[in-house]
């Protein structure tokens, strides 16, 4: 009888100790859960804007490149000269517009120290299939070279990812002229063969 009583006492103590342990553990708060949730990815332009139909890039030094889709939906250059455009180069840059990700909002920075004063490093004007036109000013690279300081139409300074912008700025540094076909050398006309050896007279 005493042994049974001792067993019940030990079991009760074990259950009581387990209950105390689980109740005394710190509970996970909603703040802890929120800290573990990654921030949503934010892009500069939305799907409602549509696809780019025109890209104009102007540098602080005054260099300009301007490409647009014509009535045949073909990319053509209007600046620095009117010419056919390399479709692959322009399309590759245009597809990067939708991937321009906002890495960070840094509205507390002064525009003057990040290349966004009255004359930004670059000004990009984009036209979309929706009919809207968006202008974004580009400043200098961040100290880590992971992105560019930029300012949209709302005036807020943000950091944009470096890779998509480099693809667009490449249109300015290397204008996408259509490759020209190298003409073949003119065909030489072959006339009658003249035997210059004197024919002996009889």
pLDDT digits (tens, 9 = 90+) for 88-122: 999 999 999 999 999 999 988 999 999 999 899 99
Mind listing the pLDDT tens digit for each residue in 44-101? 998 899 999 999 999 999 999 999 999 999 999 999 999 999 999 999 999 999 999 9
The SS3 of residue 84 is strand
Identify the pLDDT of residue 8: 47
Q: What is the mean pLDDT of residues 147-173?
A: 94
Identify the pLDDT of residue 28: 47
Ordered structural domains, the chain, with CATH: 47-173 (2.60.40)
Is residue 185 scored above 50 in pLDDT? Answer: yes
In the chain, alpha helices (H): 2-24, 30-36, 87-94, 162-173
Mean pLDDT of the chain: 81
Q: Point out the least confidently predicted range of 12-21, 144-153, 184-193.
A: 12-21
Rg of the chain on CA atoms, in Å: 35
Mind listing the pLDDT tens digit for each residue in 11-55? 444 544 544 444 555 554 444 444 556 678 889 998 899 999 999
Identify the pLDDT of residue 11: 45
Burial of 98 (0-12, 13-18, 19+ CB in 10 A): middle
Identify the pLDDT of residue 200: 52
Tell me the pairing of strands 157-161 and 102-105: antiparallel
C-alpha span between 121 and 53 (Å, rounded): 23
pTM of the full structure: 0.70
CA end-to-end span of the chain: 156
Query: And the tokens for 80?
Result: 């620095």
């Amino acid at each position: 009888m005493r042994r049974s009583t001792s067993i019940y006492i030990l079991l009760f103590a074990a259950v009581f100790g387990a209950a105390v342990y689980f109740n005394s553990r710190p509970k996970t708060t909603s703040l802890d859960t929120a800290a573990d949730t990654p921030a949503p990815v934010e892009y500069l332009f939305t799907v409602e804007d549509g696809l780019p139909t025109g890209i104009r890039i102007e540098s602080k030094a005054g260099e300009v490149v301007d490409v647009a889709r014509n009535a045949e939906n073909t990319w053509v250059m209007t600046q620095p000269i009117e010419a056919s455009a390399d479709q692959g180069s322009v399309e590759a840059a245009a597809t990067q517009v939708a991937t321009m990700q906002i890495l960070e909002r840094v509205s507390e920075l002064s525009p003057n120290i990040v290349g966004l004063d009255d004359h930004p490093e670059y000004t990009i004007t984009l036209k979309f299939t929706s009919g809207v036109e968006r202008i974004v000013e580009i400043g200098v690279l961040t100290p880590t070279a992971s992105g560019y300081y930029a300012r949209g139409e709302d005036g807020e300074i943000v950091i944009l990812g470096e890779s998509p912008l480099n693809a667009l700025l490449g249109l300015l540094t290397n204008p996408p002229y259509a490759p020209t076909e190298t003409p073949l050398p003119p065909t030489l006309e072959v006339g009658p063969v003249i035997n210059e050896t004197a024919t002996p007279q009889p």
